[in-house]
Structure 1
């Protein structure tokens, strides 16, 4: 069933904030053009109203850090069949585009090289291969039952990487608000997008296991992480943003770069800035910044949400010291603070080491 979203002002009694689909549709176009991060912070906008070879125009086109393309189409009061058919038609054209063609589309729409914008956004170079896979997102102010039914059918039965996100725009006096809801977990759709003819030998993700890189240095201490039950990353959004992929209940294999795997545990909270992070100490909830921390500079940039440390609480199953870290040839690692662990050999060997 379509999700119903409402907002109530409870500062002085209880009053529902008004919503209108038409106002939301108009506001959506303005907002998404200015800031695509409202859909996902892991997207760089390639352009809007991108002309295809068939005389049609894609509302919004973006690229993620892995070089995958994301096609977004605003529903704009069209029938479900029309908008679903349209975005699939766009995807059939997008999948044939070469590296150079994607780069040229960006330059035509922005007047600057994609490589420079990619480095500025993700703090890493453009991948050697882009457009290996793609996702389709239908953006709407309201999600009707027919659109939901079609998307669920294509996704569930045929693995089509299509999703819907709907926003609602609310206004209460001078204050303006926008809410966002996904039809399908974006992580599930992302996984389906990686299963393509060009990528069918890639190991599938089991939808629960992650690797977390934990730098044991002046900014964070492994002894603190073990004692208080957390992982963290900071000093820039490129380092901390991947912690957002860790969901409550996910299993993490923690490793210290250049040392090896030091722990396995379960995520018990979403990523939050250090100043808001809480931990349990002898059955008492405390602010992590108020604890006796060994890391000399973990509290850096506390009020800077781009550079401060971000924390995810972990219930550790097994831990070892940095000196006893596990590493053998053939294990996989990744430069991101958190990333999906697909490599079955790594899962098996690390699980065996920790006696799971």
Structure 2
């Protein structure tokens, strides 16, 4: 690894180190680094437990337990300067132990983690946010979907040989080489995926996914999708000619229905219907967290006039720890899965999305002016 010196037009080699000589420990350091920055493993993961030992008839514990965006459990085993000979057997045992965990058990494991880490958050809400689905719709830890990640500074030949053999049998396993470097008082860390190589990973995963594909879709999920499609099909005609938004939107199977119409990129109207409530929303959904907060802060300056025009108090959610922000008006006590509640929910959405659009027209025009000025200044 080299440092580029643009002034001298030279490169300077960084000094390769071992974790041991730097005084780093597996649990205290490497595990904590990955727990707080799982994207170092090349994807978005949700860490749901550390030092997990919830196995029957054994005191063994795995380092980190995570979920990927497909709902698969990811077993992460960390070693420092050497993997040891038995790490593949170790992670295979952990994967087999975890293969029996159902969705409710996973939720409880994650909630226990949140309680211990003092996040003050709810597992169901975080899972729904991570997967961008209602918790009831989530399918977690499907049969033969478990994944394994091994992290170490050096991999023994017997370990890499075992891993390559297991890949032939469609076990989803990855090896990451973690290497610390030093330059004076500065320390650096590289995380290199060595098995499978990055170029072949998509192919290997696609083969595993094909093998693990579920033969049939859960009947319950199909029924929920059918009900939502029917609900949105009843709502959209009610909005025709009454509001400029939702004119070119089609019914969907999701519990939410988005539309543009704000005139601001990444800011959208959103209709939501769940088993507990219906809501009309403004969502600040740009990919950049700071941009969302700035837009939200600009809008909330007009809170009083917006609520007066709208006719009701709104719920303002800046969500400082999350990327997006929302402004909502909610009707509790209606259930998408109870068709008897539909008329109440449909009337609520029809009236309030129209009123929300009217109340937001002037504030959004002012925000667009501010954005234009800022862009010109840039």
Q: When the two structures are superposed, what TM-score results if normalisation uses the length of structure 1?
A: 0.51
Tell me: CA distance 1:76–1:14, structure 2 relative to 1, closer, same or farther (3 Å).
closer
CA drift of 1:189 comes to 4.5
Query: 2, 17, 30: which is aligned to 1:7?
Result: 2
Asked if structure 2 preserves the Cα contact closer than 8 Å seen for 1:17 and 1:171, the reply is yes
CA drift of 1:71 comes to 0.8
Query: 54, 60, 74: which is aligned to 1:70?
Result: 74
Tell me: CA distance 1:235–1:122, structure 2 relative to 1, closer, same or farther (3 Å).
farther
SS at 2:125 equivalent: helix
Tell me: CA distance 1:216–1:108, structure 2 relative to 1, closer, same or farther (3 Å).
closer
Aligned to 1:176: 187
Asked if structure 1 preserves the Cα contact closer than 8 Å seen for 2:31 and 2:63, the reply is no
Q: Deviations 1:69-98 (Å, cap 9, x if unpaired)?
A: 111101335555411111011111111111
SS at 1:60 equivalent: strand
Distance (Å, rounded) in 2 between the aligned partners of 1:146 and 1:219: 56
CA drift of 1:44 comes to 0.6
CA drift of 1:41 comes to 4.0
Moved more, 23-32 or 126-135: 23-32
The answer as to 2:112 corresponding to 1:117 is no
Aligned to 2:50: 48
Q: As a proportion of its length, which structure holds more strand?
A: 1
Aligned to 2:165: 153
CA drift of 1:68 comes to 1.2
Tell me: CA distance 1:175–1:79, structure 2 relative to 1, closer, same or farther (3 Å).
closer
Aligned to 1:235: 286
Asked if structure 2 preserves the Cα contact closer than 8 Å seen for 1:44 and 1:121, the reply is yes
Aligned to 2:205: 190
Aligned positions, number? 214
CA drift of 1:128 comes to 2.7
SS at 1:191 equivalent: helix
Aligned to 1:140: 152
Distance (Å, rounded) in 2 between the aligned partners of 1:235 and 1:90: 38
Distance (Å, rounded) in 2 between the aligned partners of 1:95 and 1:41: 22
Distance (Å, rounded) in 2 between the aligned partners of 1:135 and 1:237: 30
The answer as to 2:16 corresponding to 1:19 is yes
Aligned to 2:91: 87
CA drift of 1:192 comes to 4.4
The answer as to 2:142 corresponding to 1:128 is no
CA drift of 1:146 comes to 3.2
Q: As a proportion of its length, which structure holds more helix?
A: 2
What residue ranges of structure 2 are gaps of 5+ in the alignment? 116-120, 218-258, 266-284, 290-367
Moved more, 94-103 or 17-26: 17-26
CA drift of 1:19 comes to 1.9
CA RMSD of aligned residues (A): 3.6
CA drift of 1:119 comes to 3.5
CA drift of 1:29 comes to 2.4
SS at 2:16 equivalent: coil
What residue ranges of structure 1 are gaps of 5+ in the alignment? 1-5, 203-214, 221-233, 239-296, 304-356
Q: When the two structures are superposed, what TM-score results if normalisation uses the length of structure 2?
A: 0.48
Distance (Å, rounded) in 1 between the aligned partners of 2:45 and 2:288: 13
